Structure 1
Amino acid sequence: MDPLDRLAEPGLDLLRRVDTLLAAGAPEGHRVWPLLRRMQVLPGEAVRSFLDLHPGPLAGAGRSVRRLVPAYDEVSAALTDPVLWSGAAASAYDESRAALLRHLDEGPESLVGRLESTAGYADALADWVEGSRLALARALADVLRSTEAVAVVAATSVPLAVSAPRASAGLEAAEIAARVLAVLCVAYDGAETLLRQWGPSLAESRWRAPVAGHPRYDAPTRVGR
């Protein structure tokens, strides 16, 4: 359980109250409006969705992908074993073997290269989730102990739920919403940046066929030294 998990219950309770007040409208010109338009969601629902993101499964996926690499190494080693034959058939085989080796494990566009990139992307996402959850936890801790939180809770408590205090707490609710949504906007900007950075190295590994020459049938094939 990380700091965000520990703050989830009181944080969601406060944000539920904030959402209720925002449903009646936020002050005109407040900085929360562009954040709401961008996120297309109220802060309570945004945080509730983010709580489902955990770094552990992503880090585990990276480790699982890396465990596949030795199998490719074994196949590559088998293909590099010397074959004691010569002639036209041997040359054609060598060309195909070299092409397969390139496809398996030669450079970032090979299958092994793509596996390593996929594992690296999973690790980067795990780090992003961990850092974003910590930033969101800090934001929730700040708003939970703020004077705005006191005003919002008072305005949405059952004994005091009258129109005047509810209206007066609209500004406080907007302030809390802006602080929370700003952190989430930064988090999602980070996710988009990661996708742009890693996207090219996650593309399909295309087969690079050997340059085929004209087959010859008039030359002998020699096996052995």
Structure 2
Amino acid sequence: MDPLERLAEPGLDLLGRVDALLAAGVPEGHRVWPLLRRMQVLPGDAVRGFLYLHPAPLASAGHAVRRLVRGYDDVGAALTDPVLWSGPAASAYGQERAALLRHLDEGPESLVGRLDSTAGYADALADWVEGSRLALARTIADVLRSAEAVAVVAATAAGPPTRLTPVGPGVADAAEIAARVLAVLCVAYDGAETLLRQWAPSLAESTWRSPMDGRPRYDQPTRVGW
């Protein structure tokens, strides 16, 4: 259980109260407005959704992808075995074999290169999830012991507000808590978008590279053996 899971119950209780107060309205010009417009979600729902993100499945996926490389190594070894024949057919086969070897495992655009990139992307996402969860846990811990949290709990002690006004008790405090929570989530999602931009070129489809020597000739005999 990581810090975010340990803080989930009290954190979601407080943020549920925050969401209820924000539903009554938010003070005009408050810094939470741009965050609400960008995230399109209240802080309680945003944190509840983020709780489902865990680094372990992503790290496991990276390990599983790397294990697939062994199969490509076996195929490559079979293709590099010497073939006892010569002539145009042997040359044509050699060209196709060399092209297939390049496609399997030669450079970052090969199949093995793409597997390595996919595994690296999974690892990077796992690190992003772990770091983001820790940053969110720290923010929730801070707001749980804040004066704003005391005001929010006091304002909602008798239940959600029934009077829809952005200047009611605890509303400004709820907006401040929401701004702090949504701000750290915005940073987290910015990080995810940055990772996608960085890794996207390495995750593109591996395209087939045709043999480099052109069309083979068939005007000479093929000899099997040496």
TM over 0.5: yes
Question: Unpaired runs of 5+ in structure 2?
Answer: none
1:1-225 superposed matches below 5 A: 1-158=1-158, 167-211=168-212, 213-225=214-226
Moved more, 214-223 or 144-153: 214-223
CA distance in 2 between counterparts of 1:128 and 1:69 reads: 25
Alpha-carbon distance in structure 2 between the residues aligned to 1:146 and 1:56: 32
Using structure 1 for the length normalisation, give the TM-score. 0.95
Q: How far did 1:189 drift?
A: 0.2
Going from structure 1 to structure 2, the CA distance change for 1:162 and 1:49 (only over 3 Å counts) comes to closer
1:159/1:224 CA distance change after superposition, 3 Å: closer
How many residues in Structure 1 have an aligned counterpart in Structure 2?
224
In the alignment, is the contact (CA less than 8 A) between 1:58 and 1:123 conserved in 2?
Answer: yes
Determine what percentage of the aligned residue pairs are the same residue.
Answer: 79
Structure 2 Cα separation of the partners of residues 46 and 114 of structure 1:
33
Name the CA shift for 1:113/1:168 in 2 (closer, same or farther; >3 Å).
Answer: same
Structure holding more helix per residue: 1
CA contact (8 A) 1:88 1:215 kept: yes
Q: CA 1:78–1:181 in 2, change beyond 3 Å: closer, same or farther?
A: same
> In the alignment, is the contact (CA less than 8 A) between 1:76 and 1:104 conserved in 2?
yes
- What does the per-residue CA deviation read over 1:156-182, in whole Å, with 9 as the maximum and x for residues that have no partner? 011896869x81211100000000000
State the Cα distance separating 1:217 from its structure 2 match. 2.9
Whole-Å separation in 2 of the counterparts to 1:76 and 1:52: 40
What SS does the aligned partner of 1:7 have?
helix
Which letter does structure 1 place at the counterpart of 2:138?
R
TM-score, scaled to structure 2: 0.95
The runs of 5 or more residues in structure 1 that have no matched partner are: none
- The residue type paired with residue 183 of structure 1 is V
CA-CA distance at 1:83 after TM superposition = 1.3
The C-alpha deviation readout for 1:148-206, integer Å capped at 9, x for no partner, is 00000000011896869x81211100000000000000000000000000001001111
- Does structure 2 retain, via aligned residues, the 8 Å contact 1:69–1:112? yes
Asked if 2 retains the 8 angstrom alpha-carbon contact of 1:59 and 1:122, the reply is yes
Deviation, 1:216, is 2.9
